[in-house]
Structure 1
Amino acid sequence: MATNTTIKKNTATAAEPVPDTVIDTTEPTRRAPAVVGPPLGLGQEPETVTLSHHLRISGTDYTPGAKILVSPDYARRLRGQGFTART
């Protein structure tokens, strides 16, 4: 079996300064809440639904009582199948 006898050189040496990474923590980034299930259509606003049963969507488990944002079409389908709580 052949072995490699070349010596790897360390690219960062004491003579080369390592640039400092500056992280601005003055204002936290805020993301819009993620819509669960199919994406929103053009001009649609997400709806908040409360689940009445355990549901697994895209590999994520949601327990009864969980409030999720979904597209209006998906909310209608969930209501028709009995997955949303009566409110």
Structure 2
Amino acid sequence: MATNSTTKKPAADAAAAESAEAVTETAPARPSHKPAPEVVGPALAVGAEPIAVTLAHHHTIDGTGYPPGAKILVSPDYAHRLRAQGYATQA
């Protein structure tokens, strides 16, 4: 006949072990991430801030049509090019 070589834990020790295992740690709060602004056209250079421009004429960028008066965020270089070509207002 086989004998069990493991010893039983006393009831108090078993309850303490279960309560120690049941302790859950709360996850640290996630920092609130603001969605990145939708930049149209070429990507921003490292460290550059997007510029809001108002289109003076209908313009299609990356397959999306933008009507006159639409306000879009673009890279500083692209804003300069749009203004030079007359697609964006000078203000």
Q: Same fold (TM over 0.5)?
A: yes
TM-score, normalising length: structure 1: 0.63
Q: Does 1:64 align with 2:71?
A: no
- Structure 2 unaligned runs (5+)? 1-32
Q: TM-score when scaled to structure 2?
A: 0.61
Determine which structure has the larger helix proportion and give its number: 2
* Alignment partner of 2:55 out of 44, 51, 59: 51
Aligned mate of 2:77, from 73, 76, 80: 73
> How many residues of Structure 1 are paired with residues of Structure 2 in the alignment?
59
Q: How many Å separate the matches in 1 of 2:37 and 2:67?
A: 18
Q: Please name the residue that 1:38 is paired with.
A: 42
Which structure 1 segments of 5+ residues have no match? 1-28
Corresponding residue for 1:82? 86
Extract structure 1 runs of 4+ deviating beyond 3 A: none
User: CA separation in 1, counterparts of 2:77 and 2:34?
Assistant: 26
What is the CA distance between 1:76 and its match in structure 2?
Answer: 0.3
Larger Rg belongs to = 2
